Amino acid sequence: MPTTFANLLYDLDAASGILTITLNRPDKLNALNAATIEDIGNAFQQALQDEQVRGILLTGSGEKAFVAGADIAELARLDVMAARKAAERGQEIFCRIEESPKPVVAAVNGFALGGGCELAMACHIRVASDNARFGQPEVNLGLIPGYGGTQRLAQLVGKGKAIELLLTADMVKAEEALRLGLVTHVVPQAELLDFSRQLLARILGKAPLAVALCLDSVNAYYDQQRHGYQTEAQGFARCFASDDFKEGTAAFLEKRPAAFTGN
């Protein structure tokens, strides 16, 4: 698969294992069109297959927007069947991000509206710049979110607040997003990428299998086809057969840093 994409930048730091994916349509405030969504899907598919990639940082180019929304001109041309297919495809790709066994951190620089907010919410952790703005303004267009926004927003901020934000189309500033639990950190924009990389590097210092199983267990709670507690118990047991568990416990008892291998 290619490592270049028309609508995003794909930059792997081999030393750290951190892949930075940057949405790169600054003249459109990184708005999502069908081609960009496909690029995101292909980039994540490649990243998940690449053993050199250990964690993923997702951000937008420029200082104004992470993703300012969907490409409205493109949406306006869709009929009912095409709209259903577009939503299902977007959901499939965003679920690929959410279900990634490799940690994904969104560094939200500026506006994250509509599909941009949905994309950020599909990531495991969200760090916002102090000028970030979040919102699901679809009702202003006579629409609802189509890429999982109604589901993930309720999971993150609670049903009542999610309904209010969906129905009013209100934008949320970074500090309010932090208070609501929509993001976990707010930092000055100049520090956003460095802070996000440092956070991801801390996670990558842990046992890769345990990190992947934590993500899987949390996701299982929200999956109606799975049982979260059973998934956790199975993952807990699986860790005991891993080299990482043996190394982690040995390192603790020997009072030394662990050297995890992911096995």
Residues known to be catalytic: 118, 138
Q: Which two tokens stand for residue 47?
A: 């990243």
Is residue 180 classed exposed, middle or buried when 0-12, 13-18 and 19+ CB atoms within 10 A define those classes?
Answer: middle
The answer to whether 136 and 166 are in contact (CB under 8 A) is yes
Pinpoint the alpha helices (H) of the chain.
Answer: 34-49, 72-75, 80-98, 115-122, 149-157, 159-168, 174-180, 192-204, 208-221, 228-239, 243-253
b/e for 184-218, b at 16 or more Cβ within 10 A? Answer: ebbbebeebbebbbebbeebbeebbbbbbbbbbbe
Closest CA to 232 of 249, 208, 216, 211: 216
The answer to whether 147 and 119 are in contact (CB under 8 A) is yes
Phi, psi of 154, rounded to the nearest 5 degrees = -65, -35
Phi-psi map region of 236: left, alpha, beta (phi>0 left; psi -120 to 50 alpha): alpha
